[in-house]
Amino acid sequence: MPKYVYDFHEGNKDLKDLLGGKGANLAEMTNLGLPVPPGFVITTEACNVYLESGSEPKELEQEVGEHLAALEKTMGKRLGQADDPLLVSVRSGAKFSMPGMMDTVLNIGLNDESVEGLAKQAGSPRFAWDSYRRLIQMFGKTVLGVDGEHFEHVFDAAKEAKGTKNDLDLDDGDLRGIVEQYKEIVAKYAGRPFPTDPREQLDLAVRAVFDSWNGDRAKLYRRQERIPADLGTAVNVVAMVFGNIGMDSGTGVAFTRDPGSGDQGVYGDYLQNAQGEDVVAGIRNTVSLADLEDIDKPAYDELMAIMAKLENHYKDLCDIEFTVERNKLWMLQTRVGKRTAAAAFKIAVQLVDEGLIDMDEALQRVNGAQLAQLMFPRFDDAADKKQIAKGVNASPGAAVGKVVFDSATAGEWAARGEDVILVRRETNPDDLPGMIAAQGILTSRGGKTSHAAVVARGMGKTCVSGADDLEINVSAKTVVTKDGTKIGEGDVLSIDGTSGTVYLGEVPVVPSPVVEYFEGNLAVDADPLVAAVDRIINYADGKRRLGVRTNADTDEDAARARRFGGEGIGLCRTEHMFLGERRAFVERLILAEGEEEQKAALDALLPLQREDFVGILAAMDGLPVTVRLIDPPLHEFLPDLTELSVKIAVAQAKGETVSDQDRTLLEAVRRLHEQNPMLGLRGVRLGLVIPGLFALQVRAIAEAAAQLKKDGKDPRPEIMVPLVGAVQELEIVREEAERILAEVAAETGVTVGTLIGTMIEVPRAAMTAGQIAEAADFFSFGTNDLTQMGWGFSRDDVEGAFFSRYIEVGVFGVSPFETLDAEGIGRLVKIAVEEGRATRPTLKVGVCGEHGGDPESVHFFHHAGLDYVSCSPFRVPVARLEAGRASLDAAGSDSR
Amino acid sequence: MPKYVYDFHEGNKDLKDLLGGKGANLAEMTNLGLPVPPGFVITTEACNVYLESGSEPKELEQEVGEHLAALEKTMGKRLGQADDPLLVSVRSGAKFSMPGMMDTVLNIGLNDESVEGLAKQAGSPRFAWDSYRRLIQMFGKTVLGVDGEHFEHVFDAAKEAKGTKNDLDLDDGDLRGIVEQYKEIVAKYAGRPFPTDPREQLDLAVRAVFDSWNGDRAKLYRRQERIPADLGTAVNVVAMVFGNIGMDSGTGVAFTRDPGSGDQGVYGDYLQNAQGEDVVAGIRNTVSLADLEDIDKPAYDELMAIMAKLENHYKDLCDIEFTVERNKLWMLQTRVGKRTAAAAFKIAVQLVDEGLIDMDEALQRVNGAQLAQLMFPRFDDAADKKQIAKGVNASPGAAVGKVVFDSATAGEWAARGEDVILVRRETNPDDLPGMIAAQGILTSRGGKTSHAAVVARGMGKTCVSGADDLEINVSAKTVVTKDGTKIGEGDVLSIDGTSGTVYLGEVPVVPSPVVEYFEGNLAVDADPLVAAVDRIINYADGKRRLGVRTNADTDEDAARARRFGGEGIGLCRTEHMFLGERRAFVERLILAEGEEEQKAALDALLPLQREDFVGILAAMDGLPVTVRLIDPPLHEFLPDLTELSVKIAVAQAKGETVSDQDRTLLEAVRRLHEQNPMLGLRGVRLGLVIPGLFALQVRAIAEAAAQLKKDGKDPRPEIMVPLVGAVQELEIVREEAERILAEVAAETGVTVGTLIGTMIEVPRAAMTAGQIAEAADFFSFGTNDLTQMGWGFSRDDVEGAFFSRYIEVGVFGVSPFETLDAEGIGRLVKIAVEEGRATRPTLKVGVCGEHGGDPESVHFFHHAGLDYVSCSPFRVPVARLEAGRASLDAAGSDSR
């Protein structure tokens, strides 16, 4: 038979699934002998029974009764006992902390009788009636669903009547009156009287916690964060201790190290004669934790000892909530504390040096998102800065520019070379051109999943959203700060997307020391952060199974990626080799009449492309370079249909002569125009339809490699065919490529081992990977296209049009272009890896979509059995780190 | 140990895998006691050993020797024996008949010595030397790979020197000279002398047959027809009999019934003093088989008896090749004969009535492609027709129109209401607009897989391709027929895509009697074909498990589909409900500022759409009607971007004022413009992004159904959500729809049971079907979009651009939009069916892509376990028939 209630003595920190995070840590502290108020936890299993069946498990009432009795015995008083009441708090506590869940009801056990007992025991009728007032207010709001405003109106009216703004000026008489009015509010709006039976209070509060698991906000949050809906929440029932019972009492929070820098020391805040909610309300100012030493040395010393013990025990930075009740210290909560990216790296190596953890553990304490943050340029710490607002850190980076309020102006100013910051209350799809033109985006509304945030992250553009201290008036073109400063179009702002801070004027930007180090411009011991990053990433390199390559199209990018640790090129696009002045050749190719002319156009490109490949292969000498044959439809190299049509129509309307060339061109553009070019004549289809096109590229690669090899180099080209959906396509291209490789080998007398493989980026390719592997030396997943085609949406068209809405309603937690959608697209990847390898056990498998540099996706690729990931040069260190971390994931884990 | 050689006595007709079709049937006839020349078969297994290892299995030489010895014993003479040689033919014979395979070498066993023996035995030196001449020519060409033209030049020169055009005028002296020259040609071009050893001749010919399995044309044909590459071919070695040994000899072909009409009787042709190849060459005219009775009554009577026996034995129409050698009848081949569509139906029921087969067998003897042919209108048989050419029956139907030679003229003439036939030597993507405008397409080049054929079939447009009797000159705008008739632009042609015939002038078109019958305009007994179709299709209805619904958007279509046997609507598109005069509302919706205006635009549409649904639901009263919520992107309801841009720019250039409305409209068109609308804001995405849009449609459906139910009808609406990729999307729409259904039920007091389900048309939906089924009462596969997204191509953009090329090089055998690609897209379907049903065993599963009416695809859907297929009204009978046939497929079969 399941056990639905655990005393704190019966639990430990590893029982988070059953007891929730808060309960498990309270149990852990209890068993460490720390001063935790006694209490018990109702399990997530009880919650799940309730949610499935609609009623609590029948054993629950009795189990709660038994544990309550034990608690009463420990405390020497009964719940709600008239002359000396035991009071308890009821708090939710799920495995993952979750906004939207019912938070807390304090002071359960008070009613018209026991409030008098409490008054006597505490020696303070005001305290007792204030506690009662708080109970009815919290209970009414969170358990009985009464709109909180009703209570606030009464409370504010009472203060106004008294001519004060300070709660403490209300005396017990005032509070008695408020309690009466509160009870009336409950009766009126909840349709039932406030329950006076303490056990009924407790049971209703527990049920309210259960119910809150399925509240709209909680459900939405779970959908967004992909937290399973069947975890359920635990409920913590804890004996009340009071920080608001006098000046010898108080409440505080503490960190065992500086969560900002990682430095060791004492960090925290303390507020005398207060409860936790008062700290949040921010009515009075807290003091530094160090001041507690003066206020109450014994409590301070005990806290210091406990913090040392906790850090030693959790082997990590802990954050702590505590209360002092009449000079007696009580621990209300602890957990492993949040920290900044820099602190995470520094703390991890500190803990290794202190012998608390080993390097495996240190590697797991940091992550790629943190490393990515550290690689953005940032504002100079030392510079004078005028902070004017703090919003949501929606998309990292540091951006400086002139304020503009609309897309058109953004585009115009950017076109003439100005840096601009697009400022809007919130953005919508109409703002896309402006967002593209701007250095950064600033909004006063919306959080991390707002349109602005989602789109900016998708573009890799700095964004601060929800800076609600700013009053933005787009039609008046003004921003007004909290202190009344008025900012107009053209004024300069600096926004920090990593912290969410907004500064007035231009703040100097300094490069990331981590990047400076990778680039070889900074010594490893010049900065403790750099030293920590270096130590951990090198350790990750030793651990990882996944190779890390880069996506680079030029020798400059290739060389940089190599400095960043890239082990070859996983994707060298060749589109740019047809652009610029070479467009003319493509036009000739397209307009050619007959194969002779086509061939001439292609022949003219050969020496140019050969030189391109010489550069790239030389930069990656000794490492593999995967060259993707040309992918985009040829009309991308021609003028836009609408623009050209308008140009010619206008010329005609004005009676000007239209040249034959323009007419021919328009005809070609019309002929090649596609309704859906992404699903058109591109990739391998071009190779099969346009004679000589792929042959040109293969020959250029082969000749470049032969030339380098003659010069004593070690070129390692790999030829990759895009958009293959059927093995027959690949067979035909492969046959031709092998013929050309053999020809060049014969002509030059040099043989270069060249693999021939394919992208897997069309769903059908994944479905028939077992066949395709017959003709492929390697697979490289094009997860961008695979996502586009698997979901049936084009990133350009839809990301700005509805992704924020989709995230808002919980279809995605994150854009599937940012993090691989493991369930849908990932399943295609897994099937293709398995079936491809079943056909050809030596098949090399990598990924060259942008997901190759996304932390969570890297774990997926590790577990899917890929050989390497390939990502943009700047993401290479992130991928190295996460690939190392992935090798430490528990078997079968999915990186959560 | 495998046995590689079978005497005809050792085989039978069921051993086609091992002995090939020809060998198995020769064995069958031998065992029936029919006069088959003795011989043996080398198995496909021997071929496969040779192809894999590069040399014949070592046992083969001895086995062939043994069987040859037995053959020699039977015939009383040895292969190539000098004074009385045994001669043999060597023919390939695979399981499926396959162009590109080596066909035949006759007269093996002749050399300089045995030719004299043959001359003596036959009493005709001319016959012997002509046989020797034929051997060297065939052997040189097909076994030794010498270009056939070399031989023909010599032969033609000899005739010219003799001043004749008739082979028979060459005497034995001439033929001796030709033989000498042939031997020189072989020595020169094959690099080896013609082999004089008869056994060497035999062995080389066998090997040549093996090699021809991997000839380019054979490989291509296999790829196109999806015949497995590892079947291999058998080789038939048969004692020669001669139809060309005198006027008491001859050769012929026969059918046991009329393959054109199915009528019983004697059908065939006979040619005296000839070999099979002479019939093909067509130098002399054949006589009707009936004339054989006068020429050689005993042989004729024996043949009639054999034909009766064969039909009785094969229980089907047989076609036969035979030879008479000096009044002795020999059977050279038989097989189940090809027939026209009408004959197939009539023969099937005749055979049932004759007690030869049962109705299950009859159902398997016909197919949906034949039924579809019978449903096209056709040219009036009774009308005077002037046939001017016969081409390939590339896409069925009967089309009449004025000849045009280019796309532009086709478009212009069609726009002014003329019917046109586009005539080209061959078509390419530039001709697409003309093909769309024309009634039919006629080309002089290319077969069933040419661009014209593939595209026309995709459009369902009549096409005759490869009519090479016509000389088409596009620049001169003339067609010249074989007899010199000249046809110019504007002249009328009639083309029959079902038979490939081209007629001059207008041939009257009559409706299909089968359609007339379904429509209720023709009694079942008015036409024996109709009676046969009726009988078989009703039998199929009794057999089939699959339901057959129709895709219909209007009440007219719904009513017609019902007459054709449709059991409900599987896809009712709702796009048209926003078109026509209602575009104005869509424009208002799109240009609306604020939700009020949006709502007003939608509210105005409600009564109109309700009436639409009343009509459709009434037409399908008592049957399910699956309504798909609106799918296309909203910009499809606005003007085209390029056209509008040109219009406004031209107006501006001319100094005209551009209205504010036009400006606003252009802005909206620009804003909504998508690079890839197929992958854009459409389907369920519209429902989640535009408040009230789906709600309008659901309310219109619910109110229409309630109104009908109040009137005593039985409406059965099903609501289908398009383009779902994730269960969350469906959950949100479902929640709203259920709320509206409940509201309408409350308002009207009428509850209509309404299923809510989803299309499965995005690959990710198939991959996560197990989840999606949690929120779906039914799945309907949108195999058009699933094919587009699974392959990553848009039908509109690519079908004309490269499908013919893809079919030509063998990537497809047929367009995947015509027949479901079972391996790739079909796998997605299977996964979704299995996993959807695992979640929800009661899940209804159907298909509403165009594949629902394709014969081969219907079998796939049957075996994949679908509940129904849905197709256009005209395809409903085809689907009924094929669904019945599918239920008779062998377990695990794939309908081949």
Nearest-by-Cβ selection for B768 from A645, A652, A824? A824
B376 CB-near residues (< 8 Å, 6+ apart): B396, B397, B398, B498, B512
* Interior angle at CA A35, CA A271 and CA A75, nearest 5: 105
**Total-model pTM:** 0.88
The pLDDT value given to residue A895: 40
Mutate to test the interface with B, among A676, A733, A796, A812 (most CBs of B within 10 A): A676
CB B645 to CB A646 under 8 A? yes
pLDDT at B896: 35
d(CA B155, CA B174): 10
CA pseudo-torsion sign B822, B826, B827, B833? negative
pLDDT of residue B85: 96
Helix (H) or strand (E) holding A591: helix A583-591
The residue that leads in pLDDT, A578 or B892, is A578
Q: Single out the catalytic residue among A848, A851, A863, A871.
A: A848
CB atoms B824 and A650 under 8 Å: no
Residue B440's nearest CA partner among B466, B422, B418, B455 is B422
Which residue numbers in chain B have pLDDT < 50?
894-896
Give the β-pairing of A398-404 and A420-424.
parallel
At residue A892, does pLDDT exceed 60? no
Residues of B whose CB is below 8 A from A794: 674-676, 679-680
Which residue is catalytic, options B451, B635, B851, B859? B451
Gap from A1 CA to chain B (nearest CA, Å):
29
- Helix %, strand %, coil % for chain B, to 5? 50, 15, 30
**Scanning every residue of chain A, which has its alpha carbon at the shortest distance from the alpha carbon of B431?**
A671
Among the partner residues A430, A763, A810, nearest to B790 by beta-carbon distance: A763
User: Would the pLDDT of A202 be above 70?
Assistant: yes
Sign of CA dihedral B532, B460, B880, B568: negative
Indicate if A848 belongs to the active site: yes
Q: What is the mean pLDDT of residues A393-402?
A: 92
ipTM of the complex: 0.86
pLDDT(A896) > 70? no
- Contacts of residue A383, defined as CB under 8 A and 6 or more positions apart, other chains included, come to A507, A508
User: Is the model's pLDDT at A664 over the cut of 90?
Assistant: no
Nearest-by-Cβ selection for B793 from A679, A812, A827:
A679
pLDDT score at B895? 40
Residue B226 CB-density burial (10 A; 0-12 exposed, 13-18 middle, 19+ buried): middle
Q: Give the separation between CA A742 and CA A750, rounded to whole angstroms.
A: 10
What would the pLDDT profile of A244-283 be if each residue is shown by its tens digit? 988 999 999 999 998 888 888 888 899 999 887 777 665 6
Integer Cα distance of A191 and B784 in angstroms: 56
By C-alpha distance, the chain A residue nearest B220 is: A728
pLDDT (average), residues A849-856 = 92
Beta carbons of B794 and A680 less than 8 Å apart: yes
B763 contacts in A (CB within 8 Å)? Answer: 763, 789-790, 792, 824, 828
Record the tokens describing residue B70, joined without a space: 């037995």
CA-CA distance, B302 to B400, in Å (whole number)?
48
How much is the mean pLDDT over chain A?
92
Contact A615, A717 (CB under 8 A): no
Q: Which residues of B touch A688 (CB under 8 A)?
A: 802, 805-806, 809, 811
For A579-634, the pLDDT digits (tens) are 888 888 888 888 888 888 889 999 999 999 999 999 999 999 999 999 999 999 88
In one-letter notation, the amino acid at residue A96 is F
Q: Please give the residue of chain B at the shortest CA–CA distance from A727.
A: B811
Which among B731, B729, B774, B761 has a CA at the least distance from the CA of A811? B729
Tens digits of residue pLDDT in B354-389: 999 999 999 999 999 999 999 999 999 889 999 999
Torsion sign (Cα): B409, B412, B418, B420: positive
Of the candidates A392, A402, A385, the residue with the CA atom closest to the CA atom of residue A426: A392
What the block records as the tokens of B253 is 């072909």
Q: Which residues of B touch A693 (CB under 8 A)?
A: none
Distance from CA of A762 to the nearest CA of B (A): 6
CB contact under 8 A, A679 and B676: yes
pLDDT of amino acid A325: 95
DSSP class of residue B139?
I
Residue A166: which residues within 8 A CB-CB, separation 6 or more? A159, A283
Give the CA angle between residues B641, B642, B646 to the nearest 5°. Answer: 115
Q: CB B688 to CB A827 under 8 A?
A: no
- A and B: number of Cβ contacts within 8 A: 207
Alpha carbon distances (Å) from B436 to B423, B439, B448, B459, B462: 13, 8, 19, 8, 11
Give the pLDDT score at A724.
Answer: 98
Rounded Cα gap, residues B292 and B287, in angstroms: 8
Judged on CB neighbours under 10 Å (0-12, 13-18, 19+), A896 is exposed
What confidence tens digit (pLDDT) does each residue in A120-133 have?
A: 999 999 999 999 99
